[in-house]
């Protein structure tokens, strides 16, 4: 088992955050409710616009975190 200090250091923390954000987006899309920051739960049937914005933000966050991880690991080469 790897040392947790090494796993939680950048760039691996970006991969962990990206995968967890993507997983949350998938689960909340399937169950039809999303966790809002200050207002509790947002349901797809009651507030569809706000629900889809929240889910889209989680997917966007996962893309940004995983993209940051890939950039830090592979970087740009000339």
pLDDT(78) > 60: no
CB 15 within 8 A of CB 65: yes
pTM score: 0.80
pLDDT at 21: 95
Distance (Å, whole) CA 37 – CA 12: 25
DSSP state at residue 5? H
CB 37 within 8 A of CB 45: no
pLDDT at 10: 74
Domain parsing of the chain, residue ranges: 11-74
Over the stretch 11-61, which tens digit does the pLDDT of each residue have? 888 999 999 999 999 999 999 999 888 878 999 999 999 999 999 999 999
DSSP state at residue 77? -
pLDDT at 73: 84
pLDDT at 17: 94
């Amino acid at each position: 088992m790897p040392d947790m200090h090494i796993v939680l250091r950048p760039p691996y923390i970006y991969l962990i955050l990206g995968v967890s954000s993507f997983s949350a987006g998938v689960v909340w899309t399937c169950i039809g409710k999303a966790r809002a920051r200050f207002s509790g739960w947002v349901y797809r049937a009651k507030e569809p616009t706000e629900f889809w914005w929240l889910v889209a933000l989680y997917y966007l966050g996962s893309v940004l975190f995983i993209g940051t991880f890939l950039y830090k690991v592979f970087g740009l080469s000339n």
